[in-house]
Amino acid sequence: MVAPIRVGIAGLGTVGVSVVRLLARQSHALASSTGRSIVLSAVSSRDRKRDRGIDLSSVEWFDDPLVLATSDKIDIFVELIGGDEGPARAAVEAALNAGKSVVTANKALLAKHGMALAKLAEDKRVALAFEASVAGGIPIVKTLREGLAGNQIVRVYGILNGTCNYILSRMEREHMSFADCLAEAQRLGYAEADPTFDIGGFDTAHKLSILSSLAFGTAIDAGAVHIEGIETISLADLQAAEELGYRIKLLGVAQRTSKGIEQRVHPTMVPRSSSIAQVMGVTNAVTIDADAVKELTLVGPGAGGEATASAVVADISDIAKGVRSVPLGLPVASLDHSPRVAVQRHEGGYYIRMSVFDRPGAFASIATRMAERQISLESIMQRSGNGTKTANGPGDPVPVVLITYATTETIIREAIESVVKDGYIAEKPQVIRIERE
C-alpha cells in the first residue's frame, strides 16, 4: 500500500482554514483519484487559542513556520502566510532546501522571488506549485503551463482583482462615488484597511507578471509592468462609457510585440457586448488569445476562502499523484530575459476627460496641441459633471471629453502636457484606453 502523503500548513487565516476543511471533506475522493491518502499532519499559526471552527486536536502544532517547513513530519509544505519577505520567504526557501514540495498562494512572493524559488525547486527536484496565486479558483496556471502547450500565445489579459471589479461594478449600477464604494468594500471585507495594493493596481501587476512568464516563456519581471489604478475613476467617466457603449474595467494585459513582451495594468473601456464586460462584482476573468484555440476565456471566483482553497488542494493532489511540472513552464535557465517594453501604439484609441476653463482660446489650444502630434479626434463633447450639456458661467471650468483614434501612449501624454502648460486645464486630465470589438 502506498504511504500517505503528509501535509503541513503555515497560516490558518480564511484560506488556511478552508484548505483544512476541504481536505477533510474530500478525503475519500482525493485518495481515490491520487492513489494515496492525503493527511494533514501539522500546522503553524501565531495564535493557538483562537477558535477557527475546525478540529486540530490530532494535528501537531508548530509555533515557528520555519521549523514546520523542515520537519520530517511533512512531505508537502503549504505556505499561506503572505508577504514577499519575512517568515513566508524564509519558510518556503527552507522547505525547498529540505527537499519538500511547496504549495503557495503568495503572488507577492512569486512576483519578487519567483525566479530564485523556481530554480531552487528545479535543483532539488521538487514541486513549487502556485495555482492559487492568480485568479483564485480559476485554473489559469495549469491552463497556460500545460493545457495550452501546443499553442503560441499572443496575448493574455483579464480582470485579476476582485476588489477593483466590485468597486467599479457597484459605482456603475448604483451611481455611488468611488469613496463610498471603497468604504463599503472595506466593510464587507473585500478591501483591506489600507487598500492601496488593490486599487493602485499593484496586486494585478504581481499576478500579471506571473501569467506573462507562463504565457511567453519569459523571466518574471513585475518591475516591467506599467501600472495605473482606479483611484481617479469618477461617475462621470462611467456614465460617459455607458453612453459610448462601453464599460470600465481594471485590466491586466500582457502581449507579444515586435519589440518584446508588453505588460500593463490600467482602467480600460471595453465594449458592453464583450464577454469580459459581463464580469461583475468580485468575479475574475482571464482571456487568452492563441494561434490554435483562438480565444479562450476563463471566469470564476477570484478570491475567498473556498475558491482559493480549491486551487491549493488541486496543487496538493497533483503532487500526491507524482506530478512535478517545471514551475514556470520552462527551466529557469531557458526563460527569455527580454528588455522592458514601453506601452505600444493603442489601436483602440483613448478617452480623455479634461476640466477646461471656459474662455477664449481654450478649445483652440486643445485642437492645436492634438493636431501638432497628429492625433485624430473621433469626437469632442462638452459636458457637465452629471453627463449633460453644460451651462456654466463664463470662465468656469467645464468637463470636456475627447475620443481619439489610434495613437501611442507617449504622444497622448505629450499632447496633454502641452495643453496643461497652456493654462486652460483646471485639474489633472483623465486618460482611459478604449478596446474596440
Distance, CA of 217 to chain centre: 19
For the beta carbon of residue 243, count every other beta carbon within 10 angstroms. Answer: 12
8 Å CB contact between 107 and 317 = no
Q: DSSP secondary-structure letter at 218?
A: B
8 Å CB contact between 170 and 181 = yes
Instruction: Say which amino acid occupies 306.
Output: E
Tell the residue number behind the cell numbers 496633454, with chain if given.
416
Q: Which helix (H) or strand (E) holds 297?
A: strand 294-301
Catalytically annotated residue among 207, 249, 294, 389: 207
Q: What are 140's three cell numbers?
A: 489559469
Strand order in the sheet with 76-79: 60-62, 38-44, 5-10, 76-79, 101-104, 128-129
Distance, CA of 90 to chain centre: 24
Residue 207 among the catalytic residues: yes
Q: What are 130's three cell numbers?
A: 502556485
The CA distance from 268 to 6, in Å, is 45
The CA distance from 108 to 44, in Å, is 20
The CA distance from 214 to 153, in Å, is 10
**Active-site amino acid positions:** 207
